[in-house]
Amino acid sequence: MNTQITTIASNLAQVGSLIISALALTVSAITWFKDKNKQKMNLGVNFDDDLLADTESKALFIKMHFINNSTISTTIYNLKMLNEHEQPFNDSTNNKYPVAQGDVIPLEIKVRDFLDVPNYKSTVLPLKSCTLPLTIQPYSSYTGYFAFYFEGQDSYIMKFKEKNSIIIQTTQGNILHPLDTSVRSYKVFKNLSLDVKPYCFYNKKKLRIARTKATIDRIKGKIEGLWLYIW
């Protein structure tokens, strides 16, 4: 009888030990996956709707906001505006700066709103535009004006144009962010309505979806072109 009790107790102890080991392994796996996910790209992007245009400097100033909600740093090495068809803007041969239209000007320029016409009320801010590359440390944010190059009066035209987009090239991947100044959202805090535009966060999953969609669009375009050629 005592032998049976001892055997049962020993078996229960072994089962308990296995359960504890399994729970410990599960907790370790969950912790590992959480830490792994925190190390992935998680970049929040936002911008102010009030754009500034300087036709003399040939610059469109956009105040960009970035949040790096990850345990690793992210470097933005290029920004480029695209038109409503997600294509680069037509470029000229006599550019003022060594960049194409829609690219970030690689110089610190005084931020102002200026149109070279009589009686135009210009606005000058005590700031200069940001240059690239830009490194955002883990769990930190960055805000600044970026100057995008546009010839002639195009910077003023782009100030009011909707449905453009911007490519954000980073060390973690490329982001296509909508630059629609008509999109606004509101949030109510205790009967006080505030104009709040939420951040759009980008991670590796979103980047994979975007790349897949772009590939499908290119294939569809080639098939349609081939079909038109045949007929």
Domain boundary assignment for the chain? 1-38, 42-218
Please list the residues that pair with 148 across neighbouring strands.
60, 104
Q: Please tell me the distance from the alpha carbon of residue 94 to that of residue 72, in angstroms, as a whole number.
A: 41
Q: List, for residues 169-215, the tens digit of each pLDDT value.
A: 999 899 999 987 655 444 444 555 555 678 899 987 655 444 444 44
Higher per-residue confidence, 29 vs 155? 155
Strands 74-82 and 164-170 turn out to be: antiparallel
Q: Please tell me the distance from the alpha carbon of residue 70 to that of residue 35, in angstroms, as a whole number.
A: 10
Q: Please tell me the distance from the alpha carbon of residue 57 to that of residue 89, in angstroms, as a whole number.
A: 18
Query: CA 216, 104, 204: angle at the middle one, nearest 5?
Result: 40
* pLDDT(57) > 70: yes
Total residue count of the chain as it appears in this document: 231
Residues 6+ apart with CB under 8 A from 53: 59, 60, 61, 113, 114, 115, 155, 156, 158, 159
Q: What is the mean pLDDT of residues 45-60?
A: 93
Q: What is the mean pLDDT of residues 131-136?
A: 97
* pTM (predicted TM-score): 0.71
Q: List, for residues 5-17, the tens digit of each pLDDT value.
A: 666 666 666 766 7
CA 74 to each of CA 21, 39, 56, 168, 196: distance values in angstroms, whole numbers, following the listed order: 38, 11, 33, 11, 25
pLDDT, position 211: 47
Using only the alpha carbons of the chain, give its radius of gyration: 27
pLDDT, position 204: 72
pLDDT tier at 161, thresholds 50, 70, 90: confident
CB-count burial class (<10 Å; 0-12, 13-18, 19+) for 224: exposed
- Around Cβ 143, how many Cβ atoms within 10 Å? 13
pLDDT, position 28: 58
pLDDT, position 95: 76
Query: CA 60, 62, 66: angle at the middle one, nearest 5?
Result: 150
Q: List, for residues 64-99, the tens digit of each pLDDT value.
A: 999 999 999 999 999 999 999 999 998 765 777 889
